[in-house]
Structure 1
C-alpha cells in the first residue's frame, strides 16, 4: 500500500479508538458499534475478502473491547453504581452464549453477520432516539434463572456482531426499572467479561484462512487493529464515564441513537447493493 494510504488508515484506527473510549465510558458499551464500521472500511481498503471481512472486524473489535470495558467499569465502580449480584448471575451464561455465537460465526457467510449487526444496532438506535425509558417489563429484576437467560442472550448477541453486549444490557436493565447510571455501570462490567471467550473463538476459527488475512493477524483478530485502537480507547473511557455523570443524559442518548442508526443504514445499503 502507498504510504499516504497507510497513514490514513492508521489515523482512522486511532480516531476510532478515541471515539470508542468516550462512548464506552458514557453508555457502558464496549464501543463495537463504532469499531466494526471503522475496521470494516480499513479491511476493505487493504483488500480483505468480503467473505472474511466481517469476521475479522468482529474478532478485532472484541479484543479491543476487553481493556476498554475494564477502564469504563473501574470508573463507574468508583462511584458505587455497579449491581454486583447481576454481574454474578450473568457471567457464566454470557460466556456460554458467546461460545455458541462464535461457533455459529465460524460457519456462516459474512453477509449473515452483517444482517444481524444491522438488526441489533438498528433496534438499539431506535430505542435510544425514542427514549421511552418509562416502558417496563416488571418493577424488579427477575430471579437467578431469569438473569441467566438474559446473560446467555447477551453473550450470543455480542459474539455475532462484535459488541460487548453493554448496549443491549443497558436497555434490558432499564426495562426492569434499574436507574440509568446503575444500568450503564453494570453493563460496563459485563462488557469486560463477555468478549474474552469470543476473542479466543474467533482467533481459532480464523486459522484455516491465515493466508487470506492481513499480516499480523491471529486468526480473525488483527493485532495491528488492536494496537492502534486499544490504548486510546482505554485512556478515553474514564473521560466518557465522567461525562455520563455530568451531561444531560437525554442529549447523549439521542446522539448515540442517531449514530447507531447511521451505522445500521450504512451496512443495510451495503447488503442491498452487494
Structure 2
C-alpha cells in the first residue's frame, strides 16, 4: 500500500480520536473542531483549494451524524426532547439548509472560512462569559419558530454545526427549562445536520473529480473519523465529570480560538 495513503489514513484515525474525546469532554458535536483540521489534512493531500472548504464542511457534517443521533436518542429516553418544538422548527430548518447549501457552493471558500472563524470566536466569547438572554413571558410559538429554524439551517450548512449554540439560547429565552432546551437542541441539531449533509452529498458540480468522494463528502475521512470518534466519546465524557463546568467552558473557548486561527492560516 502507498505509504502516503497509510499516513493520511492514520491522520484520519487520530483526528477522529481527538474529536471524539473532545466531544465527550466538552459536549460538542465535533463540527467546529473537525472543519479546521480537515482543511489542513486536505491541503496536505493536495485537494483543490477552490473546493476544500466545501469538502471539509460536507465531510464534517457526515461525521457528526452518529454523534448527534446518539445524543438526541439519549435525551429522548430521558424525556428531555420536546418533539412539538422540533416539528415547529423543522420546516424552517429545511428551507435554511437549502439556502445555506446554495450560498456555500456558490461562493469562494475563503469567505466560508472567514464566516466560520467569526462564528467560532463568538462561541469562544460566550464560553468566557456568563451572559444569558433574559427569558420572555410567553413561550415560543408560530412564526418565530420558523424564522429560528431558517437561521439554524443556514448556520448548519455554512459552518457544519447543528446550531446548538443559538438553539439553546433561543429556547431558554422562550422559557424552556435548560435540560429540556439541551435535549431538544440535540434533536433539532440532528435534523439540521442530516438535511445539510444530504445537501453537500448531491450539490457538487460534475467538474469535481476527487477519488473516494461522493459529492462534497470524502469517504475515507468519513469512515475512519466516525469509527475512532465513537470509540473515544465515552472516554472524554468520563474525564469531563472530574472537571468543573467553568474549566470545561474555558477549554472549549481556547480550542475555538486556536482552531479559528489555524483555519484562517490554512486558507489564506
Which aligned pairs between 1:13-162 and structure 2 lie closer than 5 A?
13-25=12-24, 29-133=28-132, 135-136=133-134, 138-139=136-137, 141-162=139-160
Are the equivalent residues in 2 in contact too, given 1:29–1:164 (CA < 8 A)?
A: no
Instruction: Give the conservation status (yes or no) of the 8 Å contact 2:40–2:266.
Output: no
Could you tell me how far apart the structure 1 residues matched to 2:194 and 2:39 are? 21
1:59-118 CA-to-partner distances (Å, cap 9, x unmatched) read 111111212200122223333332323222122211210111101111111111111101
Gap regions ≥5 residues in structure 1: none
Contact 2:39 2:266 in 1 (8 A): no
Moved more, 174-183 or 91-100: 174-183
Q: Structure 2 length as normaliser, TM-score?
A: 0.87
* Aligned match for 2:203, one of 202, 205, 215: 205
| Structure 2: runs of 5+ lacking an equivalent | none
- CA deviation after TM superposition for structure 1 residue 243, in Å: 6.6
CA RMSD of aligned residues (A): 2.6
1:46 CA displacement: 0.5
Q: Bigger shift: 100-109 or 13-22?
A: 13-22
2:168 alignment partner, one of 167, 170, 186: 170
The change in CA–CA distance for 1:13 and 1:183 in structure 2 (over 3 A counts) is farther
Give the stretch that moved more between structures: 216-225 or 161-170: 161-170
8 A Cα contact 2:35 2:160, kept in partner: yes
